[in-house]
Structure 1
Amino acid sequence: MNPELIIVPIESIEAGPQPRTTFDEGGIKKLAQSIEQTGLQQPLLCVRTKKGVRLIDGERRLRALKSLGRTEAQVLVLPGELAEADRLARLMVSNLQRQDFNPIERAFGIRALMDEAKLTADAVSKLLGLSPATVSKALGLLRLPDSLKAHVASGAIPPDIGYLLSGVEDETEQQQLADEVLGNRLTREALTRKLKRVRRQQETQRGARVTATLGPGKTVMFVGNELTLDTVVEWLEQLTSKARKAKTQGLTLQTFTSALRDQSKAGRNS
């Protein structure tokens, strides 16, 4: 069954969940002027629903048509029903190809796709044609407080620096570092060096460090106060139990360690 090109009432078009959080009103106004002069050059991409059709791609065009007071729109309807996960995947791929999302919108879109489709970060990276590291760094931005998310979304803080800041556990220190970045007093390289120094200081404050060598290229490090063999055994048992559970959930190592860090941070704040 082939896609169907039809005219539908605009009120029957359901927008559905949208990873994008902001729209350039000036850009939509210019698009509306273009549509007014030359017509809608590309139909809206939709799937059928019980009430009408659901939009997959073309949110800006739909908004432009509404601003013109149009009551109908030309849509290309895909055959069959499209699962929400598939709809989000098509939307994400479409916008990523146009580099049309800001970093925070992209991160929310990736997270929504993972949640809707029950996909791992690795699976999403393959679906979107991104490296696992890119997906991991994008998801890391969601750990930032809303104020810093806004700065990343606006471009005031580059996403790679935002990712580095997301790893700073102390909120006061995180904000101080962000202020230095915003004031152009701290570059990415300088921030990286500073965070390394901070981590070394934190490790020193947290206690002794013991490294166990299990074989060529295989080492495990333990850091804590008053380390004993019993402590090591207890920690390894806890880690093994959590790792096995994470494996059944399809988590990557990066996602797993990030989740452990978030749990630890939540425990200290509670």
Structure 2
Amino acid sequence: MAVKRKGLGKGLDSLIPDKNVSPSTKTKVEDDTNLKVVLLNINDVEPNKVQPRKHFNEDSIIELADSIKQKGVISPILVNKKDDYYQIISGERRWRASKHLGLKEIPAFIKDYSDLETLEVAIIENVQREDLNPIEEAKAYKQLLEEHSLKQDEIAEKVSKSRTAITNTMRLLKLDDRVQDMIIDDMISTGHARALLAIDDKEQQYTLATRIFDEKLSVRDIEKIVKSMKNPKKEKQKKKLENAFIFTDLEEKMQQAIGTRVKIAAKDNGKGKIEIEYYSNEELEHLFEMITSIQKGE
């Protein structure tokens, strides 16, 4: 029974052979896809220059090489025939691991794809396996959009994601290049990155990104910082209103204590003055006696 694949675009299912087959089951592959497993000289195979995945973890390649050493290349790679070489469409990790082992040949399916089909299959396979980092994924969508004139709705359908998800991923490319590198290196999360998108100044983006990493700030923390940067006047006004409420309460309590009107004039630097009104010499003497009695501790 063939393994059901998820996330394939309409019409693309026939482009990708079952990844769980081995050379020993090539009859089934022929029946399903009319493709045969062939052994290619590994030096005649080259990576796809438009492959969306640019970063390969060396440790994972070595682990895969150990597996291949024990069991062989279970899933053939998928290639396109070019003039004097074969271009990898999917399976670059298997090819790299095989090269690492010094293998001379590698099993492969050969298919005649257009440039658009090649890119689509490469993107779909990587997205399904979650092999792409967010920046690689964003650049792949951008390539489909700009070089192959696909619309975002079409891209969303092909990779089985919402149009909003495609848009949000591509927005990451508006970040400073240094911030994008930090995303690739897992120094900050995509949640942090999306919060930074609210800032237009790229230098500020990078400064905040380094703070996220150095100070281990949460997404919530960075959202608050960005909000205060975007709305400094509102934050200041809010603080003034809070202080005004406190001062009004203090004024009322002091008025009740001494029996006359009191006004607090506060400054932004924490300083200020208190004004106490009196309406006769007798009242002034009474206030004086109250203050001095407090000083004497009576």
Please give the TM-score of this superposition, normalised by the length of structure 1: 0.68
Equivalent residue in structure 1 for 2:46, among 6, 9, 14: 14
Query: Which one-letter code corresponds to 2:46 in the other structure?
Result: E
Equivalent residue in structure 2 for 1:35, among 68, 73, 83: 68
1:48–1:172 CA distance, 2 compared to 1 (3 A)? closer
CA shift for structure 1 position 153: 1.0
Q: What SS does structure 2 have at the residue aligned with 1:21?
A: coil
Equivalent residue in structure 2 for 1:56, among 89, 98, 102: 89
Cα distance in 1 for partners of 2:40, 2:231 equals 62
8 Å Cα contact 1:151-1:157 kept in structure 2: yes
CA shift for structure 1 position 146: 2.2
Cα distance in 2 for partners of 1:184, 1:75 equals 48
Cα distance in 2 for partners of 1:142, 1:172 equals 15
- CA offsets per residue over residues 171-190 of structure 1, 9 Å max, x none? 33223322332234642223
Cα distance in 1 for partners of 2:56, 2:130 equals 14
Equivalent residue in structure 2 for 1:180, among 193, 211, 219: 211
Cα distance in 2 for partners of 1:171, 1:54 equals 37
Equivalent residue in structure 1 for 2:127, among 96, 107, 119: 96
Moved >3 Å (runs of 4+): 196-203
Where in structure 2 are there 5+ consecutive unaligned residues? 1-32, 235-298
8 Å Cα contact 1:15-1:55 kept in structure 2: yes
Size of the alignment, in residue pairs? 202
Where in structure 1 are there 5+ consecutive unaligned residues? 204-270
Task: Verify: 1:5 aligned to 2:37, yes or no.
Answer: yes
Query: Bigger radius of gyration, 1 or 2?
Result: 2
8 Å Cα contact 1:138-1:163 kept in structure 2: no
- CA offsets per residue over residues 204-254 of structure 1, 9 Å max, x none? xxxxxxxxxxxxxxxxxxxxxxxxxxxxxxxxxxxxxxxxxxxxxxxxxxx
Cα distance in 1 for partners of 2:233, 2:106 equals 59
The RMSD of aligned alpha carbons is 2.3
Q: Which residue of 1 aligns with 2:170?
A: 139
Please give the TM-score of this superposition, normalised by the length of structure 2: 0.62
- CA offsets per residue over residues 32-55 of structure 1, 9 Å max, x none? 121111111110112222324221
Task: Verify: 1:66 aligned to 2:99, yes or no.
Answer: yes
8 Å Cα contact 2:37-2:109 kept in structure 1: yes
Query: Which one-letter code corresponds to 2:43 in the other structure?
Result: E
Q: Which residue of 2 aligns with 1:24?
A: 57
Q: Which residue of 1 aligns with 2:281?
A: none
Query: Which one-letter code corresponds to 2:209 in the other structure?
Result: A
8 Å Cα contact 1:84-1:116 kept in structure 2: no
Cα distance in 2 for partners of 1:202, 1:103 equals 35
Task: Verify: 1:192 aligned to 2:192, yes or no.
Answer: no
